[in-house]
Structure formats: C-alpha cells, structure tokens
Amino acid sequence: MVVRDLRKRFGDHQALDGVSLEVGEGEVVAVIGPSGSGKSTLVRCMHQLESIDGGAMYLDGELLGYAAHRGHLRPLPDRRVAAQRRRMGMVFQQFNLFPHWSVLRNLTEAQVAVHGRPSGEAREEAMRLLERVGLAEKAHEHPRRLSGGQQQRVAIARALVTRPRIMLFDEPTSALDPELVDEVLSVVRDLAHGGMTMIIVTHEMSFAREVAGRCVFMEKGRVVESGASRDLFDHPTSPRLQAFLSRFNRDDVHERPLEKESMP
C-alpha cells in the first residue's frame, strides 16, 4: 500500500495535510498521535470511506478510487470502488456487527450476497475464521450476548472474510474495558505473526512497539516522525513526539498499576 501526499479538508479544517506512507507486504505499521491529528481520517480515506482532495493511494500498484481517462483522473464507478474496498479489511473502534444476526450470519452474509460464494463454503470459511479468533463456540450466539472483546474478535473475523490484502485497524481496543483489551490485541498479534499486512491506529504504545515494525507519529494532519518502532519509541527525535510519549507513559502507568513493575 502506498499513500502519496494525501490531502483531506473538512470545511476549512485541513485534516490531512500531505501525508505519505508506504506499507510493504507483510509489514505492520502503527499510527500514533494526539486526538484530532488525522489518524482516523487517514485510514478512512484509505478504505475510501472519505473522498480525498489531493494526493494518491495505490494498492498492489493499482490507483485507488480513480482511473486515468484522456489525460485526466476520473472517479471510478461505485462498483469498482466496492471491489477495491473488499481488498482491505477495516476494523473500527465500535464493532458495527448486525445485532439481530447470529455471529455466523454476520460472517457469511457478505460472502454469499456480495461474493456469490455458495453458502456451505461461506460457512466453512466463517467457522475457520471464528476458530482463528477463538470463538467457534459462539457461532450461533447473537452479538449482544458477547463481551466487547468477543464482539471485536468477531468484527476482526468478519473483516477477514474477503481475504483482504491489508487490514486497517482504527483503535480496535479503545472502546473496551481494560480487562478485555489483551484478548483483542492477541488476535491482532497472531495476524501480524501470520504475515498479514496491517496499519494499526492505536493508543496502546507498548503493543505498537512490540508488534509494529514501523511507526508513524502524526500531528495536525502531518507525519511528524516515522521510523522503526523501537527507535521511535526509545529514541524519539522530535520534541513533539518526546512530549507525546512522556505524557502517554505517565497516563499509561496511572491507568494500569500492573505496569508499575517496569518502572525504575
């Protein structure tokens, strides 16, 4: 996935002010930054949930959202956009499962309706994915009878049914009670170890440092600093990132007494 000089405005607010980013095959990139810095806007633009005002995005070398036509770029028809979108899986902070459908149907419906997969095959794929997130035994439950962590694991499985080339996570754990965060992070970690290409917007700094090979720090719609996660977290060069991380570490320790062990 390549993002080049991406620009997005909401009214007179420049939410993305020339963001460039490359994510190689099998690479995991974390996106961090203060509230309002444009992290969600970035992944929403990648998933073509937002129109863009400038720049370009490519998935496997293919331009997203536009096609060249007589020397100009023209927006792709909805059908082509939908096809491109299916090559990415997106997981939101709010799980957005259909509450009146069983877990299984949440996973099979799009496969059958959109991809035209035979229902037996769709069920097999759904069960395989539910096993992967450790929830095969919940296939026939309704989402409201699951914990938040379990619902988010179902949402991850659902995002995987299209066999995406890349997964986009927008703070997948920030709506969860603290004790449910780890089960979701461990599913994301397994995906990373399985070689899935991923972009993860997160406030879980130690997770980002551990799982993401690279990290991007955003502020005010720009990338302020990016590099290998270890370097970025252990030796931030920009004063903005230093300030952000020190504030974060304090908050983290404050919220999670268990992590005090790692303090000097």
Ligand X SMILES: Nc1ncnc2c1ncn2[C@@H]1O[C@H](COP(=O)(O)OP(=O)(O)OP(=O)(O)O)[C@@H](O)[C@H]1O
CB 16 within 8 A of CB 201: no
**Residue count at the site for ligand X (CB under 6 A)?**
11
Residues near Mg ion (CB under 5 A) are 40
Question: Per rule CB under 6 A, is residue 247 in the interface with ligand X?
Answer: no
Q: Which has the closest alpha carbon to 29: 42, 16, 14?
A: 42
Question: CA 218 to CA 224: how far, in whole Å?
Answer: 5
Phi, psi dihedral angles at 142 (to 5 degrees): -90, 145
Task: Enumerate residues 32-61 that contact ligand X by CB under 6 A.
Answer: 33, 35-41
Question: Per rule CB under 6 A, is residue 202 in the interface with ligand X?
Answer: no
Segment interacting with ligand X (CB under 6 A) among 8-16, 58-66, 160-168, 226-234: 8-16
Q: Which does 235 bind (CB under 5 to 8 A by kind): ligand X, Mg ion, none?
A: none
CB 75 within 8 A of CB 65: yes
Q: Which has the closest alpha carbon to 30: 233, 253, 190?
A: 233
Phi, psi dihedral angles at 209 (to 5 degrees): -65, -40
Of the residues 13, 235, 250, 254, which one makes contact with ligand X according to CB under 6 A: 13
**Of residues 40 and 106, the one with the C-beta less far from Mg ion:** 40
**Of residues 164 and 221, the one with the C-beta less far from ligand X:** 221
Q: Could you list the residues that contact ligand X (CB under 6 A)?
A: 10, 13, 15, 33, 35-41
